[in-house]
Structure 1
Amino acid sequence: MPTPEHSNGAPCWNDLMTADTEKAKSFYGTIFGWDFQTGDEEKYGGYITAWKNGKSVAGMMQKQEGQAGMPDTWSTYLRSDDAAATVKAAAEHGGQVYMEPMDVPEQGHMAMIGDAAGAAIGVWQPGEMKGYELAEEPGAPVWHELHTKDYTTAVKFYQDVFGWDTDVMSDTPEFKYTTLGAGDAAKAGIFDASGFLPEGVPSNWQVYFGVENADAAAAKAVELGGTVLRAPEDTPYGRNATLADSTGAVFMISQELPRGGASTPTQEA
């Protein structure tokens, strides 16, 4: 598959903050067939890039001192032509700035913000590193989805801050879902999870990775010390499941590549 072109405002990268990079490499390398390369410690802090078939698909980094109390988590990054301007707009539209734009030598600029509904989201202004080089295949990202407790506020935030051209896929009391783009051209989704997320769990972004066999991947995850949070189930967009890795980071898998979006938790229920 050709290297994906990452349009402004769309997901372009995903990475894992983990308490144990060696355990994470073993876990994801086994499930997704990833290879790994560790960056220069001085320039990149030992940042690890995951590769599938010679193309970059994700990153991971070791938790630092002071982050021990934070859960292990996957983060999604949206592309920006100007990270500083995006961060400024986020603050002006009800968001929070967790990390001001920082230079990643030669690679680009990154920042971390919270949207107006409380979900953390990364910002990536590309330099040499444009984003993941493989998508919509087994072992690669296939969909990114925001589970939000304040749907209307979240949709407007991404429209205002990232310039999303949105399409309402569903607007019923039981199922509200908006996408970045429409139909087969959609690049991400926002799901009204106000009736789904437990109290104490904030709005959050989730990444779906493609697999050849969801049941086998879920079983292998358990063998490797992970957890099946939602068992594989057929949906209109593939056979999907929710898993946690061996240190608790949550991610989704999708057996069949989605056309216009992966399933939402409501569709899986």
Structure 2
Amino acid sequence: MLTTAYVPGAPNWLDLGSPDTEASIAFYSAVLGWDHQSAGPQAGGYGFFLYDGKVVAGLGPLAEDGASPSWTVYFHSPDADATARAVQDAGGSVRVNPADVFTYGRMAAFTDPTGADFAVWQPGDTNGLELVAAPHTLCRVELYTTDAPAAKAFYRSVFAWESTDLEMGPGLTYTVLYPSGTGQDAAHGGLMQLPQANLDAGATAEWHPYFEVRDCESTVAQAGEAGAIVLIPPMDVPGMGRMAMFLDPHGAAFAIIDSHSPNQ
């Protein structure tokens, strides 16, 4: 379970790159009840999504050439420069070199060997998100990958993550991920091989954020009315909750889950 007592390797930040930040503010306000606060004129259009007055995500315009609208998951790093070296040693690539973000912290962005983008946040004045694992906030992250064994080896090398494989059905394995030395109670998400049908259809490796909701069906209805495309309609996932997955109006993928569904 995510907490704001961030340890190395745990997700500690999340932001959305959008081609139209005002439209994204309107969408996520309608679906998740978020407010928005600008980071100021010096921040290049970056700002924060808030729920109950606490920061739950970031939002900014697309900054990289050729970038597509997407959510980026950041993992806690005590040393972003050392993590960058570890990423390269393990076969990944550096998209954005480590750099200070004023006095808030230090960040870097990477691509893993299977093509999934992610980032790290080395805390300075800002430790990370102020609220997680509560309704309307980030509760888990999942990697859908083109090569599960390669991805597991890479992230184990970079973050020393520990993992447990769960058999979800014939030929279907879900890998639970948790920071080194913590155990499954501190699991921050999972990793899953993309099915062959998805690969044949052109699916690529991606990290997806999951947001906790109080009612999966009503949130799906709100998202649809606000312009989202439903990728996975509401479904029960044994031991996890009732979930659904979307593309927001600009094509950024995210999921929701009601982990307190009565069916669990």
**TM-score past 0.5 threshold:** yes
1:152 aligned partner: 149
Deviation per residue, 1:96-144 (Å, 9 max, x gap)? 1111001100110111101122211111111111111111111100110
1:246 aligns with 2:243: no
Write the mapping of 1:14-163 to structure 2, written as runs, cut at 5 A. Answer: 14-42=14-42, 44-64=43-63, 67=65, 69-163=66-160
Contact 1:149-1:197 at 8 Å conserved across structures: no
Root-mean-square deviation (CA), in Å?
Answer: 2.1
- In the alignment of these two chains, the number of paired residues is 255
Contact 1:142-1:257 at 8 Å conserved across structures: no
Aligned residue type for 2:208? Q
TM-score, with length taken from structure 2: 0.90
TM-score, with length taken from structure 1: 0.88
Aligned residue type for 2:223? A
Q: Which runs of 5+ in 2 are unaligned?
A: none
Contact 2:3-2:133 at 8 Å conserved across structures: no
Contact 2:212-2:256 at 8 Å conserved across structures: yes
1:215 aligns with 2:224: no
Deviation at 1:171, TM superposition (A): 8.4
Q: Which runs of 5+ in 1 are unaligned?
A: 264-269
2:204 aligned partner: 202
Deviation at 1:165, TM superposition (A): 2.2
Residues of 2 paired with 1:59 and 1:170: CA distance?
35
Aligned residue type for 1:243? F
Residues of 2 paired with 1:127 and 1:196: CA distance?
43
Residues of 2 paired with 1:11 and 1:3: CA distance?
9
Identical aligned residues as a percent:
37
Residues of 2 paired with 1:211 and 1:172: CA distance?
26
Residues of 2 paired with 1:191 and 1:229: CA distance?
17
Contact 1:136-1:257 at 8 Å conserved across structures: no
1:198 aligns to what SS in structure 2? Answer: helix
Deviation at 1:180, TM superposition (A): 2.2
Residues of 1 paired with 2:134 and 2:14: CA distance?
15
